[in-house]
Amino acid sequence: MKISVRVPATSANIGPGFDTMGIAFPLYNTVTIEETVMPGSGVIIELVSDYNYKDKALLEQVPRDNTSIVYKAVELLYNSIGQTPGELKITINSKIPMTRGLGSSSSVIVGALIAANELLGKPADESALLSIATELEGHPDNVAPAILGGAVFSSVQPDGSVVYRKLPWPKDWKLTACVPDFELSTNIARSVLPKDVPMSDAIFNTQRFGMFIYSVYTHDSKLMKLALDDKLHQPYRMHLIPGLSEIMGLLRYEDDVLGCVISGAGSTILLITENDGREKAKSVVKSVWNDHNIKADLYDFDVENEGAKIIV
């Protein structure tokens, strides 16, 4: 039996929603799991990439044994029902750029869990799969929209369960992912964050995230421009992305540009625009990054409202 699952890319945090908010994009990784007939072969993992990585060594560093996050996802699901993975072949077709803040690791975790769950006869429901995925990722901001699609905010409960809700993202709020030609590992991006933050900064983000939720539901563009400010993670990560401070400064007061935020841990940045703002914002990003000798791929997206999907 063979199961293939297509999983969308995701952008997490979206300004004030640190480790809480994520949104899905129509750029996909596909995870295929098939039962083999080779006794003793264990789990075989293959990686095929359609993305033109400059650093081919990055792909070679991806584990292909039982240390792989994909294997760990499958193992956790099997163990949850008292079983151990047998002879399986796992193939990952990667189209989501790695180490760029677009949820590549979340996508393969989700894909592996859903495919393995299908092979096992669906012992886990959506909530259980999300809890397992969150246990592996450490937070639900990427895995929730990867599973559900759309814009999703989520929270982990003390018992490990995840509370989550989808937001009705306004259709005319346009999204552009600006993916630079340099990677930024999540570990590095996490290492620059302080262990404690001032109470005033925590209050600031609480206020902005409330504005964010209200803005999306009411389609309030003016409020959204204020809501995308953040003091918990972006100020500390700003220096890791050359030109970002300048880009944000140039776009802050542009009409029809709602905001520019770091996508996940970076290095990708996300533009949120309306009307004629998209081309204006992209022009600023290209100009500033050109001055820094940074090349980038810019992807214009609508929100992907369909999450992970079984395609075979």
CATH of the domain at 97: 3.30.230.10
Quick one: 65 and 27 in the same domain?
yes
Quick one: 7 and 137 in the same domain?
yes
- The DSSP secondary-structure symbol of 275 reads T
Quick one: 110 and 35 in the same domain?
yes
- The reported pLDDT for the residue numbered 1 is 83
Quick one: 179 and 199 in the same domain?
yes
Q: Please state whether beta strands 88-94 and 21-35 pair in parallel, antiparallel, or not at all (unpaired).
A: antiparallel
- Is 183 strand, coil or helix? coil
Quick one: 178 and 260 in the same domain?
yes
Quick one: 144 and 198 in the same domain?
no
Rounded Cα distance between 157 and 212, Å, is 22
Quick one: 9 and 93 in the same domain?
yes
Number of domains in the chain: 2
- The reported pLDDT for the residue numbered 47 is 80
Rounded Cα distance between 13 and 309, Å, is 23
Q: Provide the sign of the torsion angle of the four alpha carbons 58, 62, 64, 70, taken in this order.
A: negative
Please give the chain's pLDDT, 312 residues, in tens. 889 999 999 999 999 999 999 999 999 999 999 987 666 556 788 888 765 554 455 555 555 566 788 889 999 999 998 888 878 888 999 889 888 999 999 999 999 999 999 999 999 999 999 999 999 998 999 999 999 999 999 999 999 899 999 999 999 999 999 999 988 888 899 999 999 999 999 999 999 999 999 999 999 999 999 999 999 999 999 999 999 999 999 999 999 999 999 999 989 999 999 999 999 999 999 999 999 999 999 999 999 999 999 997
Rounded Cα distance between 108 and 114, Å, is 10
- Angle 277-291/244-251 helices, nearest 10 degrees? 150
Rounded Cα distance between 196 and 182, Å, is 29
List phi, psi (to 5°) of 175.
-120, 140
CATH of the domain at 254: 3.30.70.890
Model pTM score: 0.91
Rounded Cα distance between 129 and 294, Å, is 38
- The reported pLDDT for the residue numbered 59 is 53
Quick one: 11 and 151 in the same domain?
yes
Q: Please say whether the beta carbons of 139 and 10 come within 8 A.
A: no
Q: Provide the sign of the torsion angle of the four alpha carbons 25, 27, 29, 30, taken in this order.
A: positive
Rounded Cα distance between 293 and 290, Å, is 5
Q: Please state whether beta strands 162-167 and 2-12 pair in parallel, antiparallel, or not at all (unpaired).
A: unpaired
- The reported pLDDT for the residue numbered 312 is 73
Quick one: 213 and 262 in the same domain?
yes
Rounded Cα distance between 281 and 95, Å, is 25
- The reported pLDDT for the residue numbered 56 is 53
Quick one: 82 and 130 in the same domain?
yes
- The reported pLDDT for the residue numbered 185 is 86
Quick one: 130 and 10 in the same domain?
yes
Q: Please say whether the beta carbons of 27 and 101 come within 8 A.
A: no
- The reported pLDDT for the residue numbered 86 is 79
Quick one: 270 and 181 in the same domain?
yes
- The reported pLDDT for the residue numbered 51 is 56
Find the domain containing 31 and state its range: 2-168+303-310
pLDDT digits (tens, 9 = 90+) for 252-268: 999 999 999 999 998 99
- The reported pLDDT for the residue numbered 275 is 92
